[in-house]
Amino acid sequence: MIKYYNNIRLGAKKLEPQKSKRMSGARILVETLIEQGVTDVFGIPGGQVVDIYDELNRARRRIRHILTSHEQGAAHAADGYARVSGKVGVALATSGPGATNLVTGIAAAMLDSVPMVVITGNVSTQLIGRDSFQEINITGITFSITKHNYFVTDVNELADTVREAFRIASSGRPGPVLIDIPKDVQTAKTLFAPKAPEPPDALPHADEKDVLRAAEIINRASRPYLYIGGGAAANGMGKQIMEFAEKTDAFIGCSLMGISTVPSSYERFLGMQGMHGRYASTKANTEADVIIGVGVCFSDRATGDAKKYARRAEIVQIDADLAEINKNVIVDAGLVGDVKKTFSMLLDAVEQKRRPQWHKRALELKSEGRRIFNSIDENALSEITPKQVFEMINGKKEADTVVATDVGQHQMWAAQYLKFEKPRRFISSGGLGAMGYGLGAAIGAVIAEKKRAVLVTGDGSFSMNLTELATAVSYKIPVVIVLMNNSVLGMVRQWQTLFYGGRYPATDPKRKTDFVKVCEAFGGKGERVSSAEEFEAAFERAMKFDGPYLIDVPVDKDELVLPMIPSDGDLEDLITTDERKNKQ
């Protein structure tokens, strides 16, 4: 275990029956956070949360505040913390720009179903609506990107509001909840008595008749395919998924959010499917005659043109959220309820069946996929190919190392090549695709796990929130930053290459940033490599460093992420080769 800052024993003590005590709203907030089991809060102070910070300081032996460099970094850190720990992440900011700086992080958590409680301060209630300094209607702004939000006007309601926020954030389909607390509510006093935390609301399992109908569809199928997503990952369903695959002779693909749900080494796991997915999983999805979606939303990046998706297959979808059923694709059986319980019912209901032709075909697809990826690697333009980079990371990282990514080409290469044997080891902004997500999320992961993490990023993404290097250095956060540097906005440029006639407006910023010097200026360590051997040695050094260590890896600006499905295409329109090379 890595000791990366002051040795404070954290965690709420076992609550004993206590008499009510008169406290300020700020202290009530802090005591209720501790009551809910919160040990870490990410944020930045400001004028309308000074009282809260004063109480956090008083309670510093029971709850820790991590000072980030930007409120967006705080939100992403709380997100990363929640994803790897399974706990509710907490972010804190002041009013006005402090609150609005959280918005991207809140939206990222909402679209990826991450449980977070976000706390903002606001001006006193008598100043609301008067355009007071740093007044902002943050509940209105975040209405569409939170599960629920609160504007607290009565200190007597504050404790129960916080309790309800934690329950809502973690119940059903998880997501962020925001609590906006005016300054006069923070300073007002009332009686407070701690309560034991309430468990998340229990979801019912799906109706038994619906489960049996779904089982009938699966039983008569010849080519079953399991498509698993973030709902399966969050519920720790890897063992169940593998049991189902063994019983039905099915094979498994996943969305970006489903990566690390089952071990990469599992024979039946084909990898991520979709626009930049693995060849085997994408092709198996097109050839399947039944697709069982587990905690997955069938987004456009995974399905291509939804009207053309699964033309030869029936679809069974299991989700906690009724709104997801038939939202993106029309399904033949929709099972709504607790995903884990419902899937367990389906596992019991399906017949044990061997499907030798499907088994043979799936293994053929895996073999074809390996040949395609080997060919892509052999024809790579970069001195250090993406495949080489990630194979070395696979060989050097520990089995329980968390890998965070930013958004872009590097993210897709990571999804294609990284291997995980334990759950909750891969974190990335899927639904929102927020560039700048990675460093904050990696910091949150390290705080949660107390172990080293790896960040895979690109020069475009990293530039957006690199100020969080100050946070990583200040708290001695051991994070290895692998920066895939092509000096362009790679993913957009790839689209311009393939679909816009090779016109590149605004994707070649011609920046002169020296990221190694930037990291060192913040107090970290960095080095630039130019060969696979140099990267391997640098990564070994980085994995031993007590703090952030950046490795700048050159990538050719014309390197493409393949395979790829055009945005208006379907899974059968898979591009597997760079046609520019074929014309040379």
Active-site residue (options: 134, 341, 451, 543): 134
Asked if 183 is an active-site residue, the reply is yes
- Out of 31, 116, 147, 183, the active site residue is 183
Contact 550, 478 (CB under 8 A): no
Sign of CA dihedral 310, 315, 320, 323: positive
- Would the CA dihedral through 430, 431, 435, 441 be positive or negative? negative
Strand, coil or helix: 119:
strand
Residue 71 appears among annotated catalytic residues:
yes
From the candidates 435, 464, 491, 564, which is the catalytic residue? Answer: 491
Contact status, residue 568 vs residue 424, Cβ threshold 8 Å = no
Check the CA dihedral 120-126-129-134 and report its sign. negative
Measured in whole angstroms, the distance separating CA 556 from the mean position of its chain's CA atoms is 27
Instruction: For residue 527, give every residue at least 6 positions away whose Cβ sits within 8 Å of its Cβ, in sequence order, or none.
Output: 516, 538, 541, 550, 551, 552
Distance CA 366, CA 370 (A): 6
For residues 476 and 472, what is the distance between their CA atoms, to the nearest angstrom? Answer: 6
527 catalytic? Reply is no
Burial environment of residue 506 by CB neighbours within 10 A (0 to 12, 13 to 18, 19 or more): exposed
Catalytic residue among 133, 360, 398, 499: 133
Q: Dmax over Cα atoms in the chain, in whole Å?
A: 81
> Identity (one letter) of the amino acid at 511?
R
Is 420 considered catalytic here? Answer: no
User: Which two tokens mark 339?
Assistant: 């995903």
Task: Identify the active-site residue in 31, 35, 55, 71.
Answer: 71
Q: Judging by DSSP bridges, how do beta strands 189-192 and 21-24 pair with one another?
A: antiparallel
Give me the sheet containing 402-405, strands edge to edge. Answer: 426-427, 402-405, 453-458, 479-485, 549-554, 525-528
535 is catalytic: no
Residues designated as active site? 71, 133-134, 183, 491
